[in-house]
Amino acid sequence: LSFSAEDAERRARSGETLLVDITADWCVTCQVNKALVIERGAVAERLASGAITMMRGDWTRPDPAIAAYLSRHGRVGIPFNAVYGPAAPQGIPLPELLTESTVLDAFARARGVGAQAAR
């Protein structure tokens, strides 16, 4: 899905769990996060299964809507990832360097279940 902060919040309130990935072609850390966490292992499995929806925003070229979204979360740059869900309709911001366990824990928190139960 293409990025929309309003759509992410609306989908979360309706019960969906989403991973928002704000990225850019020139962002090396973004590419590392994708290769090591988002596109492999348990995170990739959840995304492929449809249990988690991926919403990606491309900041390769400056975009005022993405800049405003980053600012609302106290960030001025990327990478920026957040997980939305029924228990976190405003989003759970993730650290710049992702780990599988950090993302899986955020999925569980956003859904409102214990981290161990979600694994």
Categorize the per-residue pLDDT at 18 as very low, low, confident or very high, splitting at 50, 70 and 90.
Answer: very high
Q: What is the pLDDT of residue 118?
A: 45
| pLDDT at residue 114, as a whole number | 63
* Helix, strand, coil fractions of the chain, as percent rounded to 5: 45, 20, 35
**pTM of the entire structure?**
0.91
Res 116 pLDDT > 70? no
| 3-state SS class at 81 | strand
Q: Is 93 exposed, middle or buried (0-12, 13-18, 19+ CB in 10 A)?
A: middle
